[in-house]
Amino acid sequence: MEPLWKLAYLLEPASLALIFTAVLVVFASAQRALNYEKEMERNRDFSESSITLDSSQALMIPIASSCSLLLMFYLFASMSHLVTAFTAVASASSLAFCLSPYVFYINSKLGSVDPMVTRCCCRPFTRMQGILVLVSSALVIAWLVSGHWILNNLLGISICIAFVSHVRLPNIKICSLLLVCLFVYDIFWVFFSERFFGANVMVSVATQQASNPVHTVANTLNLPGLQSITKKLELPVKLVFPRNLLGGMVPGNTAIEFMMLGLGDMVPSTLGPVIFTSWVRSELNELWDGPRPIVNDKTRLMEV
């Protein structure tokens, strides 16, 4: 057993900031998902409704994740530009999704109208949506140029919130099944993958830095300001905080080291409080199997 004094690093500013941010992300994801569902029901717009996973789809997630992990492990160097470009697009759309409630709230408080500018994909595209696209794109470009850890965390948090808002699990039974499979997936790839693949696959992929396509283009075209563009990028799939945050420092570590927490590692912490709260409220049986579908007269006539 480790001496208690070795756990003192948990009281470092970086550790406290990491724990607080993780709790905040879990709460913000749940709140945004709930508000998004209410918004879709209020507007009767189900074209962008969330995706509900069944048990077979939940079982496929660890398998698909394992295949992606191996692909990144062996081919990351050759496909890092493609991964970075895809991540940039996903980050911009996720950031716009997260900022949209605040932008429209400010717009409604100011009492200004939001005229339609054009139509995109058979849907109206308003001025406020255009501002959201510009702001999100500017933040993503700033991340591509600087690679700063604050922007990395911001984009990672937005991806996490958008994913939770659009992908749903219908009941605790499927949620428990998925988390058990992900637990086995995580244990295998972290602790046993080195025996089969010669290296720790999970750690190798998580700590790899992607090549920056902006730096590659600027270097090819010999553009000015090349020195200010970072060559490598940390992909926004984890929260990172420098160990020397606010002057905190663990003895023996350098100032460039980071503490990190994968976004997927925050998911299991939400299941325990949900099960305990539902048990206290005597709602565990209902949440375990999910709500029963309401059969109205129209559905009954269609079945007949």
> Which residues, including other chains, have CB under 8 Å from residue 185's CB and lie 6 or more apart?
62, 65, 66
Q: What is the DSSP letter of 47?
A: T
Strand partners, 260: 240
> Which residues, including other chains, have CB under 8 Å from residue 243's CB and lie 6 or more apart?
12, 14, 249, 250, 253, 255, 257, 258, 259
Strand partners, 262: 238
Q: Report the C-alpha gap between 256 and 46 in whole angstroms.
A: 46
CA distances from 1 to 7, 251, 267 (A): 11, 21, 27
> Which residues, including other chains, have CB under 8 Å from residue 158's CB and lie 6 or more apart?
91, 94, 95, 97, 98
Q: Report the C-alpha gap between 220 and 230 in whole angstroms.
A: 15
Q: Which two tokens stand for residue 291?
A: 């709500």
The answer to whether 186 is a known catalytic residue is yes
If one counts every other C-beta atom within 10 angstroms of the C-beta of residue 36, the result is 21
SS3 (DSSP) at 224 = coil
Among 45, 54, 114, 265, which one carries the catalytic annotation?
A: 265
Q: What is the DSSP letter of 50?
A: P
Label the pairing between strands 116-120 and 123-126.
Answer: antiparallel
Asked if residues 249 and 259 have their Cβ atoms less than 8 Å apart, the reply is: no
What dihedral do alpha carbons 273, 278, 281, 284 form, nearest 10°? -150
Among 45, 54, 114, 186, which one carries the catalytic annotation?
A: 186
Q: Which two tokens stand for residue 202?
A: 């999970």
Instruction: Residue 65: name the closest of 206, 257, 198, 192 by CA.
Output: 206
Catalytically active residues, by annotation = 186, 265
